[in-house]
Structure 1
Amino acid sequence: MCDVAVVGGGQSGLAVAYELARAGLDYQVFECGIEIGASWTTRWDSLRLFTPSRFAGLPGQPFPGARWSHPGKGEVAEYLRGYREVNSLNVRTGAEVKRLVGALGHFALTLESGEVVRASRVVVATGPFAVPVVPADLGRVAADVSQIHSSDYRRPSLVSGERVLVVGGGNSGCQIARELAGAGRKVMLAEGRRLPRLPQRVLGRDIFWWLATFGLMRVPVGSWLGRRMRAVEPVIGQSRVTLRQAGESLRNRVASIDGNCVSFAAGPPARVDAIIWATGFRADDRWVKLPQALDSSGALRVDGLRSAEPGLYVLGRSWQTNRGSALLGFVGRDAHALVRQLVRDAQRDK
């Protein structure tokens, strides 16, 4: 039996582990990957954070390197591994939690190995990017048209065909489309909606300096400004002008697919050889077997940092409490607040 079980050993799990250790609580982190940072090492080769190193650190340990450089995926994975070691965090890797049952003071977590771990309280820190989302109602894609989700994209040489459609105009879709265009492919980027674009630098400073300085990374989710910002998540550093200059063709929302022919909400149809679905992710809460904690769709019901189930807490979801809740350099604020809340709850429940 431990005081707190933390499910997920990514940036959110490590941040809350640091805070739990500082609070003197007995905790255990369970990470399904074989090593810390594994989810970063499997992303595409050229991936770089759009947040600079200055804003990429977890509590108590700044991100190494030049403050205004933009780390690659390998640097992030190395930092997370080092963070665990430097802070002697109690993390079990290769320990996937398959089932959570019980109640406050008596939770039981069943691991893939069959081992059952008991905890008084549980923190779900699995993040918002567990399950890739691909639209299922757009029609039939021909067998000779290769399809991958952005989570499986690595580099242009592994994408077959000359005419590539990237579906999704967010940050991942724009970065992948630009890399493919730079490799000589004929790229179409289909945007479901026209997201606002922000330059990486404004008046000589990184955009995140401005966002942090004016408090925009701490905007509460329930505020008027928070609701407005959440509805129109911007693309950083990828203007439509630079995308067109790179050789991309910008298209509207995909309306339907028939074989290798794609129709759009506006404009002429096009034939494609490959499709990359940069259509996002969703959280996977199916392992939580606590009916009170879940909504009708099977997702965790979250109010701030608590779930609807007493003793069950949640950390690291997009816009959970504020703009930075799911971002590497900003999740520490929520982690600190969660542990303070957990301690208060524990004192009250004695």
Structure 2
Amino acid sequence: MVNRFNTIIVGAGQAGLAMGYYLRNSSNSFILLDNHARVGDSWRFRYDSLKLFTPRSFSALPGMELPGNQEGYPTKDEVADYLEKYAQQFKLPVKLNTKITKVTKHDGDYHIVTNSGEEFLSKNLIVATGPFQKPFIPSFSEEIPNEIFQVHSASYENPSQLKEGAVLIVGGGNSGMQIATELTSTKRDVNISLGKKPKFLPYEVLNKSIFWWFNVLGISKLTVHSKLGQILKKNDPIIGKEVKPLIKEGKVKIYPRTAGYRDGKIHFDNGKDMQPQNIIWATGFVPDYDWLDISNIFDKKGLPIHERGVTKEPGLFFLGLSWQYRRGSALLLGVGEDAKYLVGNLKSS
């Protein structure tokens, strides 16, 4: 039996739920398919100490406030539970433990097959799997012996996972900097390898969230097509300065880009080397759309070709991508606006 819906949303994270919110009163049928056991698991399984860099007032989806002090910063478990309650509050049709293995298109309909063998048909397909898909780890990591513990930031939980001894964090985004800050409390030798000099912004300026200032100054409204938007996209700053004094005090040592592994050591672009006992790859993610068997919708890097989430393939949309339209497109604070925009582009039944 084939299940038919007007719209199928792939992923029941923040992007998928925001889309469901705007579709919930629609006459067209829809369903969210998600491979996790619970709504919010994509947040639950992130490292234990993770806190958002947006305060609660900037960390909610449309129609429902994130409970608690609105000027405070929520934990990852708060967000996970919030997303689960959000789906319940708006009675969104979520089907969990459902991994999509293949999507093709026939006669104007999207044909979806899942890991359980279930089949679905829909006029519209919204890919809301977000920007954090397949962890990227450099290929030379395979040359590193098992004596050195390796973990990607997506699988890092807390310092107890690590072996005794020095830690090298490769990559200096928000996750890498937060993990480095946490590890200094364990009295370890903490090192970060960076491809370029990071730019830091404080959480707050004059007792107001930096995101409050982004709104006041119009930065939140900058689109990916604007000149300043393009500059920000290429030089996304680190939110939070906690690691800066640790670097100044020598508790966190900075190395240039990691060049490779040889002769029992990690080598860097400047010719220096070191022998860590642990490596945390905070090297980001790469797209993983192997299940989406639709031609001519990806660029050479495997990224979707779209205009504000709308592709050239009728009925196919993306939601929750980094800089899909604005800086906040992949964040809780901005995904709702993109979802609302896509509603007007859907094909009716």
TM-score, length of structure 1 as denominator length: 0.94
* CA drift at 1:143: 2.4
Cα distance in 2 for residues equivalent to 1:319 and 1:52: 20
Matches within 5 A, 1:261-340: 261-266=265-270, 268-340=272-344
1:73-84 equivalences under 5 Å are 73-84=76-87
Question: Alpha-carbon deviations, 1:8-40, whole Å to 9, x = none?
Answer: 100000000111113333101101101101111
Distance across 1 between alignment mates of 2:28 and 2:264: 57
Amino acid of the structure 2 residue aligned with 1:313: F
Structure 1 position 96 matched with structure 2 position 74? no
- The amino acid of 1:324's aligned partner reads G
Asked whether the equivalents of residues 178 and 243 of structure 2 are also in contact (C-alpha less than 8 Å), the reply is no
CA–CA distance in structure 2, aligned partners of residues 230 and 261 of structure 1: 34
**Counterpart contact for 1:107–1:122, Cα < 8 Å:** yes
Q: Tell me the amino acid that sits aligned with residue 133 of structure 2.
A: A
Counterpart in 2 of 1:195?
198
Map Cα deviations across residues 253-299 of structure 1 (whole Å, 9 max, x no partner). Answer: 11222254122222632111110000001221111111132334544
Structure 1 residue 155 and structure 2 residue 158: aligned? yes
Amino acid at match of 1:167: V
* 1:49 correspondence with 2:66: no
Write the mapping of 1:1-350 to structure 2, written as runs, cut at 5 A: 1-103=4-106, 105-137=108-140, 140-238=143-241, 241-244=244-247, 245=249, 247-258=251-262, 260-266=264-270, 268-342=272-346, 345-346=347-348
Give the deviation of 1:138 after TM superposition: 6.9
Distance 2:201 2:291 in 1: 38
The Cα of 1:240 is off from its aligned counterpart by 5.4
Counterpart CA distance in 1 for 2:42 and 2:207 is 33
Q: CA RMSD in A?
A: 1.7
Q: In structure 2, what is the Cα distance between the partners aligned to 1:104 and 1:70?
A: 48
Q: Deviations over 1:68-88 (max 9, x none)?
A: 111111101000000000000
SS at match of 2:329: coil
Q: How far off is 1:158 after superposition?
A: 1.1
Q: Is the 8 A contact 1:10 1:37 kept in 2?
A: yes
Matched AA of 2:339: A
Paired residues of 2:165 and 2:277 also in contact (CA < 8 A): yes
CA contact (8 A) 1:260 1:273 kept: no
- Deviation larger for 193-202 or 301-310: 301-310
Gaps of 5+ in 1: none
Q: Aligned partner of 2:143: which letter?
A: R
**Matches of 2:53 and 2:27, distance apart in 1:** 35
Deviations 1:199-250 (CA, angstroms, capped at 9, x unpaired): 1111221111111222212210011011000000100113553232471111
Q: Deviations over 1:83-134 (max 9, x none)?
A: 0000000111111111111157411110110111111111000111010001
Instruction: Provide structure 2 residue ranges, at least 5 long, that are not aligned to the other structure.
Output: none
* Separation in 1, partners of 2:110, 2:163: 48
In structure 1, C-alpha distance between the alignment counterparts of 2:286 and 2:301, rounded to whole Å: 12
AA of the residue aligned to 1:151: A
- Residue by residue over 1:294-322, the C-alpha shift from the partner in whole angstroms, topping out at 9 and shown as x without a partner, is 33454432222112311101100000111
User: In structure 2, what is the Cα distance between the partners aligned to 1:251 and 1:237?
Assistant: 20
Identify the range of structure 1 (28-37 vs 209-218) with the bigger mean alpha-carbon deviation: 209-218
SS at match of 2:314: coil
SS of the residue corresponding to residue 139 of structure 2 reads coil
Q: Which whole-Å CA distance do the structure 2 matches of 1:259 and 1:21 have between them?
A: 59
Separation of aligned partners in 2, 1:286 and 1:139: 23
Report deviation, 1:142: 2.4
Q: Aligned in 2, Cα 1:104/1:184: closer, same or farther, shift over 3 Å?
A: farther
Amino acid in structure 2 at the alignment position of 1:326? A
- Residues 135-189 of structure 1: CA distance to partner in whole angstroms, max 9, x if unpaired? 1247831221111100111111111131100001110000011111111110001
8 Å CA contact 1:218–1:324 kept in 2: the answer is no
Tell me if the contact between 1:52 and 1:68 (Cα under 8 Å) persists in the aligned partners: yes
2:192–2:253 CA contact under 8 A, matched in 1: yes
SS of equivalent residue, structure 2 residue 345: helix
Separation in 2 of the partners of 1:56 and 1:172?
A: 18
